[in-house]
């Protein structure tokens, strides 16, 4: 079996299985089965730069975890700068938040070069290389420049924007060429892949034949691989005895209907709009006063970026307005907390919630929606209220699909979820659970690796 090398922006701690997200679960599973290397940023920042960054290797369960510290300048330019102030907002259809600086773009390429220089000497002839997400689009080009001829795949976990948005980036053509240096490029949904092929056709005069791109001296394959969760694991978590946090939550509800949302604190998640919709729901349906509680869990992230401090303030103020208007001395309609909660405990909270509210303004997939479904009691499942702009909306057909910008529409969906009969809830839930069991995170991982390793004419054109 060929050895697998995975590269991602961050590398989880070896053995940390119960707080990691979907990417970590899938990649760790594949690496441990095949043996291999996982390389990326340690998360640590050095104030001063050394002549060449040093990698630290930790061996765990057949995997070498290779981590690299970045300098303060690297963090600011590569991570906080180009990756998260240029690519992230633009790819999530927020051009007004996009900031571009050539210094930050240079830092983005510099860090990709650092990763390539560290990785290249470790690569063996039969290794396959799997690169993850928008932080590392140039990595294949950098590895090719160092003579690496192995098959290299790339998976984009976030949306790929429409051509007219992507061209806002001054270096858009360079990034597109970087992407075609991969043998296989995976997208979450077909519309995201179609956006990329439309860009190639409209801006670079490159045509595609099905999912094959022949351009810039290479033949590359494109594909759609919706990421998923470890469904059976989440079912086991939910069926285990409830944690103390879940028991405390259930006792505090005093029989009220719980609507649960779990997001990173990010402007793409639509949290202020969601809170406004809850306020509108309470305004339109006063019979739910003191009978309904919404719990918003939103751990803070990327605190060094000003836009993220602003969204934290905006969410807290929105929750305060709704609680101030509708709350009482013994009831706050919205509970808002910023702490992270482990996956096993989250499964119990999902099961306790009659409604899962997942309403991002734009999302590549959104695994919370899948976790919520997997955690439900098959005999008495809850209802998923899901944004049509989440990638998972194309799979979870039993959800109540909403437009997160339509505050009244979300409010009406909340009421429909509260009133839905047990029979309808079960009929919506069962096909979704069966789909998640058939297309879990291990299937996603295996499908991508199989496509990357199969014998096809995707090598360099002579």
**For residues 415-431, average pLDDT:** 98
The sign of the CA dihedral 305, 298, 406, 91 is positive
Enclosing domain of residue 293: 231-438
298 and 390 inside one domain? yes
Whether residue 352 is predicted with pLDDT greater than 70 in this model: the reply is: yes
Phi-psi label, residue 123: left if phi above 0, alpha if psi -120 to 50, beta otherwise: beta
pLDDT tens track for 71-117: 999 999 999 999 999 999 999 999 999 999 999 999 999 999 999 99
Task: Check whether residue 249 and residue 224 sit in a common domain.
Answer: no
**Total domains in the fold of the chain:** 2
pLDDT in tens, 138-193: 999 999 999 999 999 999 999 999 999 999 999 999 999 999 999 999 999 999 99
Mark whether 142 and 168 lie in a shared domain.
yes
Mean pLDDT on 398-403: 98
User: Does 241 share its domain with 165?
Assistant: no
- Report pLDDT for 310: 85
44 by Cβ neighbours in 10 Å (0-12 / 13-18 / 19+) ranks as: exposed
Q: Are 270 and 178 in the same domain?
A: no
Instruction: Take residue 390 and report the two structure tokens written for it.
Output: 């989440």
Q: Is 64 a catalytic residue?
A: no
Instruction: For residues 324-347, give the mean pLDDT.
Output: 93
Q: Do 136 and 237 belong together in one domain?
A: no
Does 459 map to a domain?
no
CA separation, residue 184 to residues 130, 263, 451 (Å): 9, 30, 8
Residue 12 pLDDT: 84
Residue-level pLDDT at 50: 64
* Top-confidence residue, 302 or 250: 250
Confidence of residue 16 (pLDDT cuts 50, 70, 90): low
Are residues 112 and 8 part of one domain? Answer: yes
* CATH code of 340's domain: 3.40.50.2000
- Residue 174 shares a structural domain with residue 264: no
Nearest to 222 by CA among 264, 267, 191, 255: 191
Q: Percent of the chain, pLDDT > 90?
A: 81
Q: Give 108's contacts (C-beta < 8 A, 6+ positions apart).
A: 77, 78, 81, 82, 83, 135, 138
Confidence of residue 202 (pLDDT cuts 50, 70, 90): very high
pTM: 0.94
Q: What is the pLDDT, as a whole number, of residue 49?
A: 66
Regarding whether 161 and 115 lie in a shared domain, the answer is: yes
What would the DSSP string read from start to end of 179-214?
A: HHTSSEEEESSHHHHHHHHHHHHHHH---EETTEEE
The rounded distance, in Å, linking the Cα atoms of 170 and 143 is: 23
Does the annotation mark 363 as catalytic? Answer: yes
Burial 7-28 (b: 16+ CB within 10 A, else e): bbbebbeeeeeeebbbbbbbbb
Residues contacting residue 397 through CB under 8 Å, at least 6 positions apart: 431, 432
Q: How many CB atoms lie within 10 A of CB 325?
A: 11
In a domain, 95, yes or no: yes
- Could you read off the pLDDT of 373-392 as tens digits, one per residue? 999 999 999 999 999 999 99
Give whole-number Cα distances, 57 to 37, 66, 122, 220, in Å: 9, 4, 12, 32
Of residues 208 and 349, the one with the higher pLDDT is 349
**Does 458 score more than 50 pLDDT?**
no
Please write the tens of the pLDDT for every residue from 39-65: 999 999 987 766 678 899 999 988 999
* Tokens representing residue 52 in the block: 């060449």
Q: What is the average pLDDT value for the chain, to the nearest integer? A: 92
Annotated catalytic residue within 363, 435, 440, 442: 363
Q: Is 461 contained in some domain?
A: no
Which one of the listed residues 132, 157, 348, 435 is annotated catalytic?
157
- 166: helix, coil or strand? helix
The DSSP symbol for 49 reads -
Let me know if residue 296 belongs to a domain: yes
Dihedral sign from CA coordinates of 245, 249, 252, 255: negative
Model pLDDT, residue 61: 87
Please tell me whether residues 191 and 285 are part of one structural domain: no
């Amino acid at each position: 079996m060929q050895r697998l090398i995975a590269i991602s922006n961050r590398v989880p701690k070896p053995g940390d299985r119960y707080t990691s997200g979907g990417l970590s679960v899938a990649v760790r599973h594949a690496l441990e089965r095949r043996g291999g290397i996982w390389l990326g940023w340690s998360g640590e920042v050095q104030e001063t730069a050394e002549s060449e960054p040093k990698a630290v290797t930790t061996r765990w369960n057949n995997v070498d975890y290779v981590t690299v510290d970045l300098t303060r300048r690297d963090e600011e330019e590569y991570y906080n700068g180009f990756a998260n102030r240029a690519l992230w907002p633009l790819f999530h259809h927020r051009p007004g938040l996009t900031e571009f600086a050539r210094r930050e773009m240079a830092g983005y390429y510099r860090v990709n070069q650092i990763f390539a220089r560290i990785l290249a000497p470790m690569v063996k002839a039969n290794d396959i290389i799997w690169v993850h997400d928008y932080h590392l689009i140039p990595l294949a080009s950098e590895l090719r420049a160092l003579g690496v001829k192995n098959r290299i795949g790339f998976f984009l976990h976030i949306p790929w924007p429409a051509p007219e948005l992507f061209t806002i980036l001054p270096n858009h053509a360079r990034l597109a060429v970087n992407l075609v240096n991969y043998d296989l490029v995976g997208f979450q949904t077909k519309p995201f892949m179609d956006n990329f092929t439309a860009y190639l056709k409209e801006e670079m005069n490159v045509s595609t034949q099905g999912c094959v791109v022949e351009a810039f001296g290479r033949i590359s394959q494109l594909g759609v691989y919706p990421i998923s969760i470890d469904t059976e694991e989440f079912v086991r978590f939910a069926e285990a005895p409830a944690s103390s946090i879940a028991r405390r939550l259930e006792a505090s509800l005093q029989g009220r209907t719980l609507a649960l949302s779990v997001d990173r604190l990010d402007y793409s998640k639509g949290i202020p709009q969601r809170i406004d919709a809850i306020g509108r729901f309470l305004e339109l349906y006063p019979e739910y006063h003191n009978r309904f509680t919404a719990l918003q869990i939103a751990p803070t992230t990327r605190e060094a970026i000003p836009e993220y401090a602003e969204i934290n303030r905006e969410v807290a103020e929105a929750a305060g307005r709704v609680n101030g208007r509708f709350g009482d001395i013994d009831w706050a309609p919205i509970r808002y907390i910023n702490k992270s909660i482990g996956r096993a405990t989250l499964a119990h909270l999902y099961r306790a919630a009659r409604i899962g509210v997942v309403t991002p303004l734009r999302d590549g997939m959104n695994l919370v929606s899948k976790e919520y479904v997997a955690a439900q009691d098959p005999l008495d499942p809850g209802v998923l209220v899901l944004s049509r702009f989440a990638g998972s909306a194309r799979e979870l057909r039993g959800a109540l699909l909403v437009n997160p910008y339509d505050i009244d529409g979300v409010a009406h969906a909340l009421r429909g979820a509260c009133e839905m009969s047990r029979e309808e809830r079960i009929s919506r839930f069962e096909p979704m659970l069966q789909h998640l069991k058939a297309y879990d995170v291990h299937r996603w991982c295996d499908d991508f690796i199989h496509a990357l390793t199969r014998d096809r004419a995707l090598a360099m054109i002579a």
